[in-house]
């Protein structure tokens, strides 16, 4: 155990004294997250909307006035039937349509609840999401004012619907992808480089001549990266919650556990890469070409898997990142637990064991 601590200390010296690896470790995640953070803003201003008022009563009129008065929206059109909705969206200028149901004020008072539909053009999903939040807030405020004056409470039920992009492919979809890429990069690339560096410099021989077992050498090299990757995952999660207002609907504990599982998966891939490459350069190229590209192209991060050609859809199953992204989305956006994600988790566990077994096998061959 003492030998081990010495080994890990030495590994930290390597990392802390190498500016390049320091940058990849901590600079990259922050830069990447910030790039997304600045590229996608959450503010909206004077967005053009249209109103479809089936009711045309005092209440709807009051609500419409309130919305028109806010600095966030300007009402550009009044339409009178459902078919017109699509037309205004197609022109592209109108970003949202408010659809008040018939008999709005009577229902509100007699049945204690009336519905307004908020339709948003979700081709720009982030804006769409913000719009529906803002209109929702205005409605809520109006409702509170209304309820102050009477004993019973009236409820306006806003029904939001995203048109064109019902899955809400947005920044929320990117965060899991960015997190996956960063963890893959740090864990797999950095470990494979640090192991091949010892081979390249010749110090690996010295380690193998020492009483340390080969497995101990590898574990000693990997442990610091588990630690650093976990820190990275925490940084990413914190940044995404505060920069992107990313929700974490599910269990934080499960999120952490799944992240560690994925980190170990990536590390075992890194070890596998180091067994087949003899120079740092090769390790880096193999990591980039063999891991980064598939993660970016085939994991569903940028291109939806369902719209890929069938052969690529099949290949995508072999990519750990795909399963991790599903898990992340499940936990963060849908708030589901292990009951729904056990299959994906099991696949990741299986892949990890497979990579580990492969590296052990390859590693032995190299020592022959």
Partner 1 sequence: MTNENAITVKNLTKTFGDFTAVDAISFEVGKGEVFGFLGANGAGKTTAMKMLIGISKPTKGEANVAGFDVRTQAEDIKKSIGYMSQRFSLYNDLTIKENIVFFGGIYGLKKSVIKAKSKNLIDELGLHDEADKLVGSLPLGWKQKVSFSVALLHDPKIIFLDEPTGGVDPITRRQFWEMIYREANNGKTIFVTTHYMDEAEYCDRVSIMVAGKIEALDTPKNLKEKYKVDSMNKVFLKLARNIE
Dist CA 293 CA 299 (whole Å): 9
Q: Scan for tokens 């390049």, then name that residue.
A: 20
Contact criterion met (CB below 8 Å) for 303 and 222: no
Binding mask 8-27 for partner 1 (x = CB under 8 A): -xx--xx--xx---------
Task: Please pick, from the candidates 140, 144, 210, 279, the single residue that binds partner 1 as defined by CB under 8 A.
Answer: 210
Q: Scan for tokens 């930290």, then name that residue.
A: 12
Find, among 263, 286, 245, the residue nearest to 179 by Cα.
263
**Is 368 one of the binding residues for partner 1 (CB under 8 A)?**
yes
**Is 362 one of the binding residues for partner 1 (CB under 8 A)?**
no
Q: Who contacts 62 (Cβ-Cβ below 8 Å, separation ≥6)?
A: 142
Rounded to the nearest 5°, which phi and psi values hold at 101?
A: -75, 160
In angstroms, what CA-CA distances link 218 with 88, 225, 256? Answer: 62, 11, 24
Binding mask 184-203 for partner 1 (x = CB under 8 A): -----------------xxx
DSSP per-residue string spanning 6-27? HHHHHHHHHHHT-HHHHIIIII
**Is 207 one of the binding residues for partner 1 (CB under 8 A)?**
yes
Binding mask 250-279 for partner 1 (x = CB under 8 A): ------------------------------
Q: Which is nearer to partner 1, 15 or 296 (CB)?
A: 15
Q: What are the tokens at 137? A: 């807030």
**Is 109 one of the binding residues for partner 1 (CB under 8 A)?**
no
Q: Minimum Å distance from CB 275 to partner 1?
A: 15
Q: Which is nearer to partner 1, 221 or 322 (CB)?
A: 221
**Is 208 one of the binding residues for partner 1 (CB under 8 A)?**
yes
Q: Minimum Å distance from CB 212 to partner 1?
A: 5
Kindly list the residues in this chain that would bind partner 1 in the complex (CB under 8 A).
Answer: 2-3, 6-7, 9-10, 13-14, 17-18, 201-203, 205-212, 367-368
């Amino acid at each position: 155990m003492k030998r081990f601590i010495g080994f890990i200390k030495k590994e930290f010296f390597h990392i802390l004294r190498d500016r390049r690896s320091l940058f990849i470790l901590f600079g990259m995640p922050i830069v990447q997250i910030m790039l997304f953070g600045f590229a996608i803003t959450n503010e909206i201003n004077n967005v053009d909307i249209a109103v479809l008022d089936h009711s045309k009563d005092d209440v709807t009129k009051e609500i419409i006035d309130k919305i028109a008065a806010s600095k966030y929206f300007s009402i550009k059109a009044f339409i009178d039937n459902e078919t017109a909705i699509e037309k205004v969206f197609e022109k592209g200028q109108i970003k949202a349509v408010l659809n008040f149901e018939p008999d709005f004020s009577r229902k509100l008072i007699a049945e204690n609840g009336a519905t307004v539909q908020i339709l948003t053009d979700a081709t720009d999903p982030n804006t769409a999401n913000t719009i529906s939040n803002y209109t929702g807030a205005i409605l809520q405020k109006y409702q509170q004012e209304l309820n102050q004056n009477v004993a019973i409470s009236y409820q306006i039920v806003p029904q939001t619907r995203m048109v064109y992009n019902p899955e809400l492919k947005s920044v929320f979809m990117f965060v899991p992808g960015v997190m996956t890429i960063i963890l893959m990069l740090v864990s797999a690339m950095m470990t494979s480089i640090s192991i091949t560096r010892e081979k390249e410099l010749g110090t690996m021989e010295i380690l193998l001549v020492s009483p340390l077992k080969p497995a101990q050498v590898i574990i000693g090299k990997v442990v610091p990266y588990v630690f650093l990757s976990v820190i990275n995952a925490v940084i990413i999660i914190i940044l995404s919650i505060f920069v992107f207002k990313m929700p974490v609907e599910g269990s934080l504990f499960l999120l952490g556990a799944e992240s560690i599982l994925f980190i170990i998966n990536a590390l075992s891939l890194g070890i596998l890469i180091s067994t087949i490459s003899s120079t740092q350069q090769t390790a880096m190229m193999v990591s980039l070409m063999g891991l980064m590209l598939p993660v970016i192209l085939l994991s569903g991060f940028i291109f939806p898997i369902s719209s890929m050609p069938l052969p690529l859809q099949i290949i995508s199953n072999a990519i750990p990142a795909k399963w991790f992204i599903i898990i992340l989305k499940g936990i963060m956006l849908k708030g589901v637990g292990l009951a729904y994600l056990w299959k994906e988790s099991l696949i990741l566990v299986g892949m990890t064991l497979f990579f580990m077994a492969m590296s052990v096998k390859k590693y032995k061959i190299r020592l022959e």
